[in-house]
Amino acid sequence: MRFDIEKQISKNWNKFLFDLCLQRLTDIDLTNKEYNDEAFGSWLIERHDKRIIYDGKDSWFITQTKKTKRLDRR
């Protein structure tokens, strides 16, 4: 419910989402965090094995996980 209200009244919804994600990830070691107002408010938050991307132009919220290779021990 809060998101619906915030989206309606927010002057910068993309920045709100970026700040919210950063707030929720404060205990995680981040390797990169970028907000780009000139690219329609697109942003990126990374750590060594995961990435969250928001495409402000098309309103796409994307999460990616890096898969690690398992060593076959015989």
Where the chain has pLDDT below 70, the residues are: 1, 3, 71-74
What pLDDT is recorded for position 27?
Answer: 76
**For residues 34 and 17, is the Cβ–Cβ distance under 8 A?**
no
What pLDDT is recorded for position 67?
Answer: 83
Tell me, yes or no, whether 43 lies in a domain. yes
What pLDDT is recorded for position 45?
Answer: 96
Model's pTM, two decimal places?
0.77
Q: Give the tens place of pLDDT for each residue, 10-26.
A: 788 899 999 999 998 87
Tell me, yes or no, whether 70 lies in a domain. no
Domain range for 17 is: 2-65
What pLDDT is recorded for position 40?
Answer: 93
In 1-74, where do the E strands start and end?
A: 32-36, 42-46, 50-55, 60-65
Tell me, yes or no, whether 8 lies in a domain. yes
Cα–Cα distances in angstroms (integers) from residue 17 to residues 1, 3, 23, in the given order: 15, 10, 10
Side-chain half-sphere CA neighbours of 72 within 13 A: 0
Q: State the total domains in the chain.
A: 1
Tell me, yes or no, whether 74 lies in a domain. no
